[in-house]
Each structure stands twice: as C-alpha cells, then as structure tokens.
Amino acid sequence: MNCAVDHIRKNSKVVQIGTEYLENVEEITESYEREVLLGTSLEELMEVLDSEEKNVILLKYYYEYSFQEMSEILKRPLGTVKSVLYRALKKLKEKAKEVHLDETDY
C-alpha cells in the first residue's frame, strides 16, 4: 500500500504538456538557440576588427553617436571615422559569410 502511495506522489509531480503547447515550446527553443548562436557569433565576428574599428562600431551602434560626435571623441577627421566604420562593416559582413550567418539571423 505504501509503495503505491509513494508511486502516486512521485508521478503527481510530473506535469503533462498538452499538444497545443508543443508548438510554442519548439518556437521558443529555436529562438533561444538562434540567440545563443548569434551572441557567440557576434563575439567571434568582433575579433576580426582592430581596436580602432571596434571603437567606431561601438560608438555608432551601441552608444548611437553621430559621425560628427565620433569624430570629436576620437579626435579624428570626419572622413577617417566614416572610412573606418565602413571598412569595419565590410570585415564583419565577410566574416559573417564565413560562419554562415545570413541577414535573417541579425
């Protein structure tokens, strides 16, 4: 009798998921896996940049500075800041192709 009661208690802790929820679980899992892959890949992508290029990318896309503000912060001519940014973006795009990230991933 006690074994049967113990078995019922153990099984009552298990929650059965209905089939209507399985689709959501799969979508969430795929989304999470994509985010983990993307996060790791972004770190890898940034490794191809030198320090000046990393700084420009961070100032532009993380801190959202304008080109003029970046020029003043870095004490570099406006044209140089723009060329460094576009060179960095080109490197990132080429590296993204190497690791097989397509534009729908980011």
The listed range with the strongest mean pLDDT (17-21, 80-84, 96-100, 101-105) is: 80-84
Residue range 8-37: average pLDDT? 59
Which pLDDT value is given to residue 33? 58
Give which of 44, 47, 52, 84 is closest to 67, Cα–Cα.
Answer: 84
pTM reported for the whole predicted model = 0.57
Q: Which fold has domain 2-105?
A: Arc Repressor Mutant, subunit A (1.10.10)
The listed range with the strongest mean pLDDT (84-88, 93-97, 99-103) is: 84-88
Give which of 91, 83, 79 is closest to 49, Cα–Cα.
Answer: 91
